């Protein structure tokens, strides 16, 4: 655990950001907590950032030229200390730059800046990736927040009144997940009803991955009309995940995803990996908001 920075909006909305991983560990609206507690009996994280890859890599390694580098699932950013570069009452900006520790896994120079800002009922997250190297920078970025389930009465059971509602109808299929977390070309059906996924813990033997999603937001809705909304900028893939017996639900957004089973190529050729030109900067954004969904 690193330094924890509390930021507060005028209406009392509050977030706590851990400098280790730049991870939000608390988000309270109206005095109520809406981020998962990080209970290690189920999952010991709250809302980690995924960088420079999302998901698993073949044999736990990535290849750059003729060299192989060990790569943890979801990368290394979530486990490293960030430096606080700016703070105010309602915001904090943190930075991770390449180091001897990162180059063990990823032989590139980069800066990853994450700014968290609270407003009434919301948490805004702005991410800038800068290529400080002399060669193109291959990267994947993801955000993996989890929320209590249930958070608005009812139960987690099928028919308990909880659902995920998407901005647009999505394809009712997701890739199967194989050994080591690699994606398979086979797909399994998802019981989507147009833009709505009624929630049932038994759906989640693995994450439900919506590659190249039509939606730029999704809502985790409760039986009383309360909703936690995740809206994204420049994250083409969405995912929904939990463990069948765990009292949380994760809404995720990714620029990339796990390797396909059988992939053994260069990191620059990994499916959905971004390539950022030398000196280039890329912006991504996420907003969490608490709202009351219209019942009309």
For 198-226, what is the mean pLDDT? 95
CA distances from 262 to 63, 185, 209 (A): 14, 10, 19
Dihedral angle computed from the Cα positions of residues 143, 149, 151 and 157, in that order, rounded to the nearest 10 degrees: 150
Nearest-10 Cα torsion for 278, 100, 59, 254: -50
By the 8 A CB rule, do 174 and 188 touch?
yes
pLDDT at 12 over 80: yes
Average per-residue pLDDT in the chain?
A: 95
- At residue 196 the predicted structure's pLDDT band, cuts being 50, 70 and 90, is very high
| DSSP state letters, 4-70 | EEEEE-TTS-EEEEETBTTEEEEEEETTEE-S----TTT-S-SS-EEBS--S--GGGEEEETTEEEE
pLDDT at 296 over 90: no
Distance CA 109, CA 102 (A): 9
Read off the pLDDT of each residue in 276-296 and give the average, rounded to a whole number. Answer: 88
What is the structure's pLDDT at 105? 98
| Sign of the CA dihedral running 182, 188, 193, 194 | positive
Q: 3-state DSSP helix/strand/coil percent for the chain, to nearest 5?
A: 5, 45, 45
For 38-80, the pLDDT digits (tens) are 999 999 999 999 999 999 999 999 999 999 999 999 999 999 9
Q: Count of CB atoms within 10 A of residue 212's CB?
A: 10
Q: What is the pLDDT of residue 293?
A: 61
Domains (ranges, CATH) in the chain? 4-292 (2.70.98.10)
pLDDT tens-digit series, residues 121-159:
999 999 999 999 999 999 999 999 999 999 988 889 888
For residue 29, what are its two tokens?
A: 């609206």
Q: Contact at 8 Å (CB) between 108 and 137?
A: yes
The answer to whether the CB of 4 falls within 8 A of the CB of 16 is: yes
């Amino acid at each position: 655990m690193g330094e924890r920075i509390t930021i507060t909006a005028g209406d009392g909305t509050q977030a706590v950001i851990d400098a280790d991983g730049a991870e939000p560990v608390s988000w309270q609206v109206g005095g109520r907590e809406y981020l998962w507690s990080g209970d290690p009996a189920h999952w010991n994280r709250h809302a980690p950032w995924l960088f420079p890859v999302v998901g698993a890599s073949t044999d736990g390694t990535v290849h750059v030229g003729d060299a192989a580098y060990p790569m943890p699932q979801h990368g290394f950013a979530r486990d490293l200390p960030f430096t606080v570069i700016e703070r105010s009452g309602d915001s904090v900006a943190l930075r991770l730059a390449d180091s001897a520790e990162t180059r063990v896994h990823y032989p590139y120079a980069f800066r990853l800046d994450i700014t968290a800002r609270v407003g009434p009922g919301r948490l805004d997250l702005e991410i800038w990736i800068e290529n400080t190297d002399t060669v193109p920078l291959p990267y994947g970025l993801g955000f993996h927040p989890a929320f209590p389930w249930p958070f608005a009465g009812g139960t987690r059971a099928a028919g308990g009144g909880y659902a995920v509602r998407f901005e647009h109808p999505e394809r009712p299929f997701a890739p199967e997940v194989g050994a080591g977390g690699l994606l398979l070309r086979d797909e399994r059906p998802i019981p989507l009803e147009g833009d709505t996924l009624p929630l049932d813990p038994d759906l989640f033997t693995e994450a439900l991955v919506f590659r190249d999603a039509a939606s730029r937001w999704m809502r985790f809705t409760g039986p009383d009309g309360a909703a936690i909304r995740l809206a994204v900028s420049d994250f083409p893939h969405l995912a929904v995940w939990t463990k069948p017996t765990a009292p949380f639900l994760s809404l995720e957004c990714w620029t990339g995803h796990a390797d396909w089973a059988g992939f053994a190529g260069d990191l620059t050729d990994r499916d959905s990996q971004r390539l950022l030109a030398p000196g280039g900067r890329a912006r991504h954004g996420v907003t969490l908001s608490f709202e009351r969904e219209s019942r009309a």
